[in-house]
């Protein structure tokens, strides 16, 4: 009898509450040479089946260049999980207005929220209340989108001491390369994993547990990079680049389907 991990328990629990769950990720692929342009692959992965239900290839600088949830076809009662690149009020509003829910990593530089009293929500100040490893906090907030205002929650968990030290080293290294200084508020936010969700009838601990499943899509891109060499684009012409990327993705998806078929019918 096989063992069921905590993450698998979380996916099963989420499946009972939502019509479907989707992990969203965009990956950049660069053409060779210093002047080579970049292409971006928008990829959607269903949970818990881990099937790809949407992908889109766009050229850098063209339509769809920015990371936005607006490019997805969203169904009611879905749960969309995404990283901080999708922490856009317009994108969140797009999903929310279609009857679906969002669970997204907070980008402190782009996240503007307000308390129930109408005051600007100070994320760093609230996170200072979480002083112990694993301590969870949640705060109801309101977002003002382009056409409407809607409510949600900020949920956070304090990282371990080792994880905090790693996060601070990455921030200082990045700031050093850009010859900039790191603000105290940025260091404070880096001490926690912080997410925003429009789902309000589930505990903050469960929300944070669900967000951990986002690493499934990171593993997918690692496999694509290693097995079909998707990380490097040996083309210079736009048409051939697009055809090469679509061909690689088609091969990857067909391979995944063959593996599933073989696993299902194997005695």
* Distance in Å from the first CA to the final CA of the chain: 17
- Residue 70: CB atoms within 10 Å: 14
Quick one: which of 104, 106, 152, 151 has its CA closest to 127? 106
pLDDT score for 67: 64
Residue 124 token pair: 């760093």
| Rounded Cα gap, residues 102 and 22, in angstroms | 10
| Rounded Cα gap, residues 59 and 38, in angstroms | 6
| Rounded Cα gap, residues 31 and 60, in angstroms | 11
| Rounded Cα gap, residues 170 and 196, in angstroms | 23
E strands, 159-205, are 192-197
pLDDT score for 256: 78
pTM recorded for the entire structure: 0.81
pLDDT score for 49: 82
CATH of 6-265, one of 3.90.350, 3.40.50, 2.40.50, 3.30.1120: 3.90.350
pLDDT score for 211: 93
Distances (CA, A) of 138 to 89, 113, 130, 250: 19, 13, 10, 42
pLDDT score for 41: 87
pLDDT score for 62: 53
Burial tier of 14 (Cβ tally within 10 Å: 0-12, 13-18, 19+): buried
Report whether 138 contacts 116 (CB < 8 A): no
The alpha carbon dihedral of 96, 98, 99, 104 has a sign of negative
| Rounded Cα gap, residues 59 and 55, in angstroms | 14
Report whether 245 contacts 39 (CB < 8 A): yes
pLDDT score for 150: 94
pLDDT score for 131: 93
Angle separating helix axes 6-15 and 204-211, nearest 10 degrees: 110
Instruction: Report residue 144: phi and psi, to 5°.
Output: -110, 105
* pLDDT tens per residue across all 267 residues of the chain: 333 344 444 444 444 444 578 999 888 887 666 655 678 888 898 888 888 888 888 877 654 445 678 888 898 989 999 999 899 999 999 999 999 999 999 998 889 999 988 999 999 999 999 999 999 999 999 999 999 999 999 999 999 999 999 999 999 998 888 888 888 889 999 999 999 999 988 999 999 999 998 888 888 888 887 777 776 777 667 788 888 888 888 888 888 788 777 766 655
Provide the 3-class DSSP secondary structure of residue 135. coil
């Amino acid at each position: 009898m096989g063992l069921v991990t905590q993450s698998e328990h979380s996916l099963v629990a989420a499946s009972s509450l939502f019509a479907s769950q989707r992990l969203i990720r965009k990956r950049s692929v660069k053409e060779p040479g210093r002047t080579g342009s970049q292409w971006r692959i928008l990829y959607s992965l269903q949970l818990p089946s881990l099937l790809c239900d949407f992908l889109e290839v766009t050229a850098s600088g063209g339509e769809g260049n920015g990371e936005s949830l607006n490019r997805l076809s969203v169904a009611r009662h879905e749960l969309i999980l995404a990283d901080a690149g999708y922490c856009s009020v317009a994108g969140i509003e797009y999903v929310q207005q279609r009857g679906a829910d969002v669970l997204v990593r907070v980008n402190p530089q782009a996240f503007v929220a307000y308390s129930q009293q109408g005051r600007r929500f100070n994320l760093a100040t609230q996170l200072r209340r979480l002083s112990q490893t694993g301590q969870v906090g949640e705060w109801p907030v309101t977002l003002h989108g382009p056409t409407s205002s809607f409510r949600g929650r900020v949920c956070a968990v304090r990282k371990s001491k080792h994880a905090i030290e790693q996060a601070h080293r990455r921030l200082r290294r990045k700031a050093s390369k850009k010859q900039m200084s790191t603000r105290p508020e940025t260091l404070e936010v880096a001490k926690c994993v912080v997410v925003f969700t429009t789902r309000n009838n589930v505990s903050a601990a469960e929300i944070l547990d669900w967000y951990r499943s986002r690493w499934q899509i990171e593993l997918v891109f690692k496999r694509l990079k290693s097995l079909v060499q998707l990380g490097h684009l040996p083309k210079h012409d736009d048409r051939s680049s697009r055809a090469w990327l679509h061909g690689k993705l088609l091969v990857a998806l067909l391979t995944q389907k063959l593996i599933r078929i073989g696993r299902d019918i194997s005695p």
